[in-house]
RNA sequence: GCGCCUGUAGCUCAGGGGAUAGAGCAACGGAUUCCUAAUCCGUGUGCCGCAGGUUCGAUUCCUGCCAGGCGCACCA
């Protein structure tokens, strides 16, 4: 698409007295393919030429009639627009050849130039079970990690484990009171979760428990052996459990620096805040007054001397800058923490760090029940484990029904089941809340990952049936692809690089997810109207090249969402 | 009370100054001697939350209001 725009920009610029770049930025896609494939709106020229836009469009069309381009064949006026019509043969040839040449790297660009981008994602709280709520940060963050990598950035995935804080005090108190050793060993995370829920229930009647919890956390911060032992056990038991889920989902991180990692740096942060004169005592605690900046105050240190998570986040931000010298630092964390990040970035700025502006909160909405929000404390959450298991099970059932002869059913079921859950989270604008609904999670029809994967599998199926697998690009064969369905598919395939860039700039994998739905839809229309194997000669060859390119686009695109594209399902 | 986010078809959601506002689901009807029907084609639906403003032009930008969600010092 970019190449086509450049060509139009070059030709049109001298005729309209604009720079080629300006022309390119004005170009838009018409609402109907019938109008044309790319349009130049003439409103901007109305003042300059003192003519109505439709007249200008007509004149430009005439001026261009003798010229023509490589990738387009005609520029027709329609109302105030000058519509360019792609030459399907030339354009298709250009795009398909490019996809063939670039293969697995088609869609990638080198915008990043190797610059570091840190991405904080997943970051579960130790000792709490992995609920469906946690999947959002995990899946969105990991996709952004992959997308930035595809743009030539050096992505650095950081799992900022919530492995410190008063919650550990709570767990220790709960375990001291009600803990059973064998139950803990039996199913650690589940048991710790039960203790956590029980703590909050009992604390409602007996508020003294909260004080005990704070005291235990204080002892932990002071490095008291008994507290540290508890912490170590709870932490490693939880990590073992998370490892299973990350493994299943294919999620990776370069760093597992949890909150506890920054303990040694907290004193320094507090010292710096004092030196800069932004930290003040208030009611026995140490706070930063952000009122002049229109924000509520933040607390760096409690009156008992223990720190809070923003203190650790400050230390972590500084550590990341010093260690990775990031060009951008992303925090893929729920929208409910928006204020926290505003405060965090503001304090960094007040501490004199100009790079505070490179820190970006990438927020997302809550996963809720119809009846209200999920709460770990109240104990009403849906476990991610269960969601993934049931989704894979459902996929297995459908495969059994539709494709009973399939060889590696288990592999396909896993790809489809996990893909469904992932896609459900990635396909809508991340800022919106999601209502958790089993029926929707387990539905594999319509705009779903299965739809895209299915398109991929069918292409693979066709390609398997061809005797000569050693295909070469043939411009003549591709030039025969002039049916509407073929031209539409080619045009969509050309968009992958732009969509990856758009997704990265908006921090929205949903842009890419939606695009892949378009690819699959265009492919399915083609599939139903244009026989591949039953065609003959060069046309058959051209269609094989087209679907192979489609296969590549789907494969590459799904990969950036962290979704597998099985060859059979 | 203050702040942030959201409001588009019956439901779930795309779109995001410009040409007749689009998909999926659900409903109904159709397509399989042929490459996997997890598919495709057809039918119907919209005060784009309400009221102002900016503009040649607003569903899109600005302001106010309404509704829902989420936050607002010793949790993370």
Place of tokens 């704070």: A214
Give the model confidence (pLDDT) of A131-142 as tens digits. 888 999 999 999
pLDDT at A156 over 90: yes
pLDDT at A286 over 80: yes
Residue A177: C-alpha distances to residues A3, A167, A227 (Å)? 69, 15, 15
Q: What is the CA radius of gyration of chain A?
A: 28
Token pair recorded at residue A384: 């991610």
Distance CA A349, CA A248 (A): 39
Give the model confidence (pLDDT) of A22-71 as tens digits. 888 888 888 888 889 999 999 888 877 888 888 889 999 998 887 778 89
Higher-confidence residue of A229 and A307: namely A229
| Nearest nucleotide (C1') to alpha carbon of A400 | B38
pTM: predicted TM-score of the whole model, two decimal places: 0.95
Distance CA A355, CA A373 (A): 35
Torsion sign across C-alpha atoms A307, A310, A311, A315: positive
Distance CA A189, CA A454 (A): 36
Q: Please, which pLDDT band fits residue A567 given cuts at 50, 70 and 90?
A: very high
Q: How many CB atoms lie within 10 A of CB A555?
A: 18
Q: How many CB atoms lie within 10 A of CB A247?
A: 10
pLDDT at A129 over 90: no
Q: What is the mean pLDDT of residues A392-399?
A: 96
Percent of chain A with pLDDT over 90: 72
* Pairing mode of beta strands A279-282, A359-362: unpaired
Q: Please, which pLDDT band fits residue A340 given cuts at 50, 70 and 90?
A: very high
For residue A513, what pLDDT is reported?
A: 98
Burial (CB count within 10 angstroms: exposed 0-12, middle 13-18, buried 19+), residue A471? middle
- Smallest CA–C1' distance to B12, residue: A440
For residue A361, what pLDDT is reported?
A: 97
For residue A19, what pLDDT is reported?
A: 85
Domains along chain A with CATH numbers: 2-86 (3.30.1360.70), 388-560 (1.10.730.10)
| Strand locations in A414-515 (E) | 434-435
Give bridge partners of residue A216 from the DSSP assignment.
none
Percent of chain A with pLDDT over 70: 100
Give the model confidence (pLDDT) of A109-123 as tens digits. 999 999 999 999 999
Q: What is the mean pLDDT of residues A77-97?
A: 93
Place of tokens 């030039």: A479
Q: Are A329 and A321 in contact (CB under 8 A)?
A: yes
pLDDT at A374 over 90: no
Q: Write the DSSP symbol of residue A254.
A: S
Window 368-427 of chain A: CB closer than 7 A to strand B: 368, 372-373, 395, 398-399, 402-403, 412, 416
For residue A528, what pLDDT is reported?
A: 95
For residue A188, what pLDDT is reported?
A: 87
Distance CA A75, CA A78 (A): 10
For residue A300, what pLDDT is reported?
A: 95
Q: Please, which pLDDT band fits residue A478 given cuts at 50, 70 and 90?
A: very high
pLDDT at A389 over 90: yes
Q: Please, which pLDDT band fits residue A378 given cuts at 50, 70 and 90?
A: confident
Token pair recorded at residue A242: 């998370």
DSSP string computed for A26-65: H-B--SSTTT-SEEEE-HHHHHHHTS-HHHHHHHHHHHHH
pLDDT at A358 over 80: yes
Q: Is the CB of A534 under 7 A from strand B?
A: yes
The number of CA neighbours under 13 Å toward the Cβ of A128 is: 26
Distance CA A130, CA A330 (A): 22
CA of A291 to C1' of B73 (A): 13
Window 18-47 of chain A: CB closer than 7 A to strand B: 28, 30-32, 34-36, 39, 41, 43-44
CA of A146 to C1' of B20 (A): 40
Token pair recorded at residue A365: 């909405």
Q: Please, which pLDDT band fits residue A280 given cuts at 50, 70 and 90?
A: very high
Distance CA A139, CA A87 (A): 40
Return the ∠ at Cα A120 (arms to A116 and A121), rounded to 5°.
130
């Amino acid at each position: 698409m970019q190449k086509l725009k450049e060509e139009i920009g070059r030709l049109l610029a001298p005729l309209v007295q604009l720079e080629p770049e300006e022309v390119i930025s004005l170009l838009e896609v018409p609402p109907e393919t019938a109008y044309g494939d790319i349009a130049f709106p003439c409103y901007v020229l109305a003042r300059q030429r003192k003519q109505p836009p439709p007249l200008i469009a007509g004149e430009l069309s005439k001026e261009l009639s003798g010229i023509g381009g490589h990738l387009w064949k005609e520029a027709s006026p329609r109302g105030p627009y000058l519509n360019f019509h792609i030459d399907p043969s030339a354009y298709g040839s250009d795009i398909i050849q490019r996809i063939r040449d670039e293969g697995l790297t088609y869609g990638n660009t080198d915008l990043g130039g190797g610059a570091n981008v840190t991405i904080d994602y997943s970051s579960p709280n130790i000792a709490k079970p992995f609920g469906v709520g946690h999947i959002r940060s995990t899946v969105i963050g990991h996709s952004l990690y992959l997308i930035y990598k595809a743009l030539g950035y050096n992505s650095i995935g950081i799992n900022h484990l919530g492995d410190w804080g008063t919650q550990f005090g709570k767990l220790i108190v709960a375990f001291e009171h009600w803990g059973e050793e064998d139950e803990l060993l039996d199913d650690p995370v589940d048991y710790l979760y039960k203790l956590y829920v029980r703590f909050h229930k009992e604390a409602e009647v007996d508020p003294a428990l909260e004080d005990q919890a704070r005291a235990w956390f204080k002892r932990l911060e002071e490095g008291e052996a008994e507290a540290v032992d508890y912490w170590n056990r709870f932490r490693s038991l939880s990590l073992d459990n998370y490892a299973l889920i990350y493994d299943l989902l294919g999620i990776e991180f370069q760093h597992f620096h949890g909150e506890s990692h920054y303990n040694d740096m907290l004193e320094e942060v507090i010292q710096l805040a004092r030196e800069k004169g932004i930290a003040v005592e208030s009611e026995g605690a140490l706070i930063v007054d952000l009122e002049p900046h229109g924000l509520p105050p933040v607390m760096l240190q409690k009156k008992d001397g223990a720190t809070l998570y923003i203190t650790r986040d400050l230390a972590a931000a500084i550590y990341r800058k010093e260690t990775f010298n990031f060009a951008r630092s992303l925090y893929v964390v729920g929208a409910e923490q928006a204020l926290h990040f505003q405060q965090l970035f503001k304090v960094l700025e007040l501490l004199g760090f100009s790079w505070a502006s490179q820190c970006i909160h990438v927020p997302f909405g809550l996963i809720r029940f119809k009846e209200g929000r999920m709460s770990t404390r109240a104990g009403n959450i849906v476990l991610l484990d269960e969601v993934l298991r049931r989704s894979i099970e459902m996929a297995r059932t459908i495969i059994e029904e539709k494709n009973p002869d399939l060889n590696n059913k288990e592999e396909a079921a896993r790809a489809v089941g996990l893909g469904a859950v992932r896609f459900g989270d990635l396909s809508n604008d991340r800022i919106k809340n999601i209502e958790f609904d089993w029926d929707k999670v387990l539905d594999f029809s319509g705009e779903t990952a299965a739809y895209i994967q299915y398109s991929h599998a069918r292409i693979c199926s066709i390609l398997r049936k061809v005797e000569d697998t050693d295909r070469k690009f043939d411009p003549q064969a591709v030039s025969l692809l002039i049916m509407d369905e073929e031209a539409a598919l080619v045009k969509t395939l050309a968009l992958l690089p732009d969509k990856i860039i758009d997704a990265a700039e908006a921090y929205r994998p949903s842009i890419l997810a939606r695009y892949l739905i378009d690819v699959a839809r265009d492919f399915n229309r083609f599939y139903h109207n244009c026989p591949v194997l039953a065609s003959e000669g060069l046309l058959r060859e051209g269609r094989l090249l087209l679907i192979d390119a489609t296969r590549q686009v789907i494969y590459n695109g799904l990969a950036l969402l962290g979704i597998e594209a099985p060859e059979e399902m």
